[in-house]
Amino acid sequence: MWYNALSLPTWCHMNAIFIILIAIFAIMVIVSLVRGIIAFLQTTKIDLENGGENSQALQVKQNQAMFARIKYQALAIVVITIMLAVNS
């Protein structure tokens, strides 16, 4: 019996796509987390130095970054759920 390495089952190709998507979403989670932490640190620094000027805009930026992190985490969970459903 001869085995052709190029003729993988279709679920193997789908797993590769799912793993790539999970990696992309994980990177996006890390980026949004770092952006939120930077916004938090800038807000704290400005509050200490200037008495709270411009802190409202930075708080909005921090909230947007943290919401983006939650969104990307949810998308990664959806991809993992689909991958488990396809492979079972």
pLDDT tens column, 59-87? 888 899 999 999 999 999 999 999 889 88
Q: Is 2 contained in some domain?
A: no
Closest CA to 41 of 81, 33, 21: 33
Residue 1's pLDDT is 45
Q: Is 4 contained in some domain?
A: no
Quickly state the pLDDT bin for 39 (edges 50, 70, 90).
confident
Q: Is 63 contained in some domain?
A: yes
What pTM was estimated for this model as a whole?
A: 0.73
The more confident residue out of 14 and 37 is: 37
The tally of domains found in the chain comes to: 1
Q: Is 5 contained in some domain?
A: no
Q: Is 6 contained in some domain?
A: no
Q: Is 69 contained in some domain?
A: yes
Query: Which whole number is the average pLDDT over 26-31?
Result: 95
Domain encompassing residue 29: 11-87
Residue 25 tokens read as 């979403």
Q: Is 37 contained in some domain?
A: yes
Distance in angstroms (rounded) separating the CA atoms of residues 27 and 14: 20
